[in-house]
């Protein structure tokens, strides 16, 4: 159903392309896409460039509507989209610029184990993780919170669940925004959202969410790797999930409010899914207060899952989880809107930065970073697909200057779910992975088919573009050993 983009795409340099603002009526700024020639061939076939142009129509948008090299067709915003609006010039916040899965994100843990030690136990380890991590459609969590506790959780995020015993104090330090966005108001979260979320804190979900056991197979920057506690052959863990039904409902509730608000503020946009309201309006403030609560829920969710994974490792290797390392390197959000200060036309401006399938990548020196990483830049975790690789990078000053401190978030799909399932007919994805030495555990065989490697762009190409363009710097690559899917 993708129609592709036939409008102008001007090449700026090896890694940047421009959709000029005269390409479509209503565009307030240019669209800027990061891609090399190979990725651009795929991007042209997709509807995503159209969405980049649509986003450029948002009131108050500054500099450009950006797209990362993992860009693909989303709803409203493309996935891989970055847009910042100037709050003091009527800039808007758009729930579509965050998405339904508010604070979908990814975290990475290092272990004290080498590949060989894990290889010997891999099948049993993956079974143990699979049995410890609630995953799949309609599967509830093991941790229950009272109404009062749920409110605290929405207000305080990761720290709240760490205090309840699900993690270590240092985990909070190593989480973007310390696992809690200020200004969350649980009172703005509807009863429906609370009902959807009540059973889901500490659950993985399905779709592209996963827990992976990985091994570092390539180190590009020895000094940075050492600072991050990483070396070749080391086993690591990656967890990818978000705010579950609670976040989905917060987004949906807000879209209905925003549609009405648009009429009141006389905002007209080319797509209903781009519904928005000024950041500085009752509707805008209300959405942000609810979105922050959902973001905090997501950090609590990944924190509880981390606890389950640590316990699974401890059970399998009969050692305490501290002895096994399992230290959190970092946790990043890749679907979120944040109020940040950036320079625009030489002046510091208060911006609402939407990152929809895009990762914050703050450079060295940012006060947002924990002490340990301040000289290095923010760790950026880029999951690839379950058959190929994932990456750890660090943020750069160039990203601060070019993209409000933002980089890509993953490989990006290239094949639809339907096409992926069709191409998997008569094959066992699980067996194919096993032949490559990767142990996969999943509730649904269709889910595995939808998520097979060939449905994604090659993450190596995507990461190469952000590295070459300077948006973040490659530290190391991890190969999957085992994967748990919903």
Partner 1 sequence: MEPFEIIDHTADVGIAARGETPEDLFANAAAGMFSIITDPDNVEPRTSRPVTVSGSDRADLLVAFLNELLFLFETDRFITRRVEFDRLTETELAAVAHGEAIGPQHELETEIKAVTRHELAVEQRADDWHATVLFDI
Of the candidate residues 24, 397, 416, 468, the single one contacting partner 1 (CB under 8 A): 416
Q: Which range in 13-21, 268-276, 302-310, 347-355 contacts partner 1 by CB under 8 A?
A: 268-276
Contacts of 461 (CB under 8 A, 6+ apart): 36, 38, 39, 69
Applying CB under 8 A, among 30, 36, 86, 101 the residue interacting with partner 1 is 101
Cα separation, 434 vs 441, in Å, equals: 11
Q: Is 409 a catalytic residue?
A: yes
Longest Cα–Cα distance of the chain, Å, equals: 64
423 binds partner 1, rule: CB under 8 A:
no
* Residues of span 129-158 touching partner 1 by CB under 8 A: 136-138
Tell me if 413 contacts partner 1 by CB under 8 A: yes
The DSSP secondary structure of 253-275, one letter per residue, reads: HHHHHHHHHHHHTT---S-GGG-
Query: Closest Cα to residue 368, out of 175, 228, 82?
Result: 175
Return the range that interacts with partner 1 (CB under 8 A); candidates 10-18, 55-63, 75-83, 143-151: 75-83
Segment 218 to 257, residues that bind partner 1, using CB under 8 A: 245, 248-249, 251-252, 255-256
379 forms part of the interface with partner 1 (CB under 8 A): no
226-234, 267-275, 285-293, 314-322 -> range binding partner 1 (CB under 8 A): 267-275
Q: How many residues interact with partner 1 (rule CB under 8 A)?
A: 49
2 binds partner 1, rule: CB under 8 A: yes
Q: Are 225 and 218 in contact (CB under 8 A)?
A: no
CA–CA dist 16, 305 (Å, integer):
38
Give the nearer residue to partner 1 in terms of CB position, either 259 or 464: 259
Among 443, 473, 477, 479, binds partner 1 (CB under 8 A): 443
C-alpha angle with apex 484: 456 to 203, nearest 5 degrees?
105
Query: CA-based Rg of the chain, rounded to a whole angstrom?
Result: 21
Measuring CA to CA, which residue among 37, 33, 19, 106 is closest to residue 69? 33
Distance CA 67, CA 62 (A): 14
Structure tokens at 417: 């779910």
Across the strands, what pairs with 85?
61, 352
Q: Give 124 or 260: the residue with its C-beta nearer to partner 1.
A: 260
Q: For residue 320, count CB atoms less than 10 angstroms from its CB and return exposed for 0-12, middle for 13-18, buried for 19 or more.
A: exposed
Q: Which is nearer to partner 1, 32 or 269 (CB)?
A: 269
Is residue 196 a contact point for partner 1 (CB under 8 A)?
yes
Q: To the nearest whole angstrom, how small is the minimum distance from the Cβ of residue 250 to partner 1?
A: 10
57, 18 in Cβ contact below 8 A? no
Q: Which of 149, 259, 280, 464 binds partner 1 (CB under 8 A)?
A: 259
Q: How far apart are CA 197 and CA 245, in angstroms?
A: 5
- Binding flag, residue 12, partner 1 (CB under 8 A): no
Nearest to 306 by CA among 123, 165, 104, 151: 165
Does residue 72 bind partner 1 (CB under 8 A)?
A: yes
How many angstroms separate the CA atoms of 391 and 380, rounded?
Answer: 8
Per CB under 8 A, the list member of 206, 303, 316, 472 interacting with partner 1 is 206
264 belongs to the binding site for partner 1 (CB under 8 A): no
Given 240, 248, 409, 467, the catalytic residue: 409
> What is the β-pairing status of strands 439-442 and 105-114?
unpaired
Q: Is 190 in the site for partner 1 (CB under 8 A)?
A: no
Minimum distance of partner 1 from residue 486's CB (angstroms) = 7
76 binds partner 1 (CB under 8 A): yes
For the bound state, the minimum distance from the C-beta of residue 208 to partner 1, rounded and expressed in Å, comes to: 8
Measured CA to CA, the distance from residue 476 to residue 421 in angstroms comes to: 31
Closer to partner 1 by CB, 16 or 192: give it: 192
Cβ of residue 44: shortest distance to partner 1, in angstroms? 13
Nearest CB to partner 1, comparing residues 44 and 232: 44
Q: What are the catalytic residues?
A: 409
| Residues contributing to the site for partner 1 (CB under 8 A) | 1-2, 46-48, 72-76, 79, 99-101, 136-138, 192, 195-196, 205-207, 245, 248-249, 251-252, 255-256, 259-260, 271-273, 275, 413-419, 443-444, 446-447, 450, 486
């Amino acid at each position: 159903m993708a129609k592709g983009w036939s409008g102008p795409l001007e090449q700026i340099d090896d890694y940047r392309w421009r959709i000029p603002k005269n390409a479509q009526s209503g565009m307030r700024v240019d669209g800027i896409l990061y891609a090399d020639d190979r990725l651009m061939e795929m991007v042209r076939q997709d509807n995503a460039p159209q969405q980049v142009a649509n986003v450029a129509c948002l009131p108050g948008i500054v500099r450009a509507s950006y797209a990362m090299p993992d860009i693909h067709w989303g709803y409203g915003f493309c996935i891989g989209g970055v847009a910042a609006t100037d709050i003091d010039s009527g800039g808007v916040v758009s729930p579509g610029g965050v998405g339904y899965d508010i604070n979908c994100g990814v975290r990475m843990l290092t272990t004290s184990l080498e590949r060989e030690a894990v290889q010997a136990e891999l099948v049993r380890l993956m079974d143990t993780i699979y049995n410890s991590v609630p995953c799949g459609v309609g599967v509830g969590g093991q941790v229950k919170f009272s109404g009062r506790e749920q409110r605290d959780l929405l207000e305080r995020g990761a720290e709240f669940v760490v205090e309840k015993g699900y993690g270590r104090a240092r985990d909070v330090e190593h989480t973007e925004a310390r696992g809690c966005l200020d200004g969350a108001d649980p009172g703005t979260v509807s009863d429906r959202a609370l009902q959807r979320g009540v059973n889901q804190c500490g659950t993985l979900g399905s779709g592209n969410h996963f827990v992976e056991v990985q091994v570092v197979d390539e180190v590009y920057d020895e000094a940075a790797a050492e600072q991050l506690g990483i070396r070749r052959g080391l086993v690591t863990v990656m967890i990818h999930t978000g705010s579950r039904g609670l976040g989905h409902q917060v987004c949906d509730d807000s879209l209905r409010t925003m549609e009405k608000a648009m009429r009141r503020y006389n905002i007209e946009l080319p797509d209903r899914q781009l519904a928005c309201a000024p950041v500085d309006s009752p509707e805008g403030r209300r959405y942000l207060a609810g979105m922050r609560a959902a973001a905090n829920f997501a950090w609590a969710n990944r924190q509880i899952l981390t606890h389950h994974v640590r316990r699974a490792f401890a059970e399998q290797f009969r050692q305490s989880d501290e002895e096994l390392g399992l230290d959190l390197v970092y946790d990043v959000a890749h679907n979120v809107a944040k109020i940040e200060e950036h320079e625009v036309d030489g002046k510091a401006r208060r911006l609402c930065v939407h990152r929809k399938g895009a990762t914050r990548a703050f450079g060295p020196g940012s006060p947002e970073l924990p002490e340990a990483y301040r000289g290095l830049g923010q760790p950026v975790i880029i999951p690839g697909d379950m058959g190929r690789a994932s990456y750890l990078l660090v943020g750069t000053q160039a990203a601060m200057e070019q993209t409000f401190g933002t980089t890509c978030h993953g490989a990006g799909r290239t094949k639809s779910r339907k096409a992926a399932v069709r191409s998997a007919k008569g094959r066992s994805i699980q067996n194919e992975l096993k032949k490559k030495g990767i142990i996969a555990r999943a509730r649904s065989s269709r889910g595995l088919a939808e998520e097979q490697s060939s449905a994604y762009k090659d993450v190596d190409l995507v990461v190469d573009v952000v590295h070459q363009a300077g948006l973040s710097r490659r530290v190391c690559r991890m190969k999957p050993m085992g994967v748990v899917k919903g």
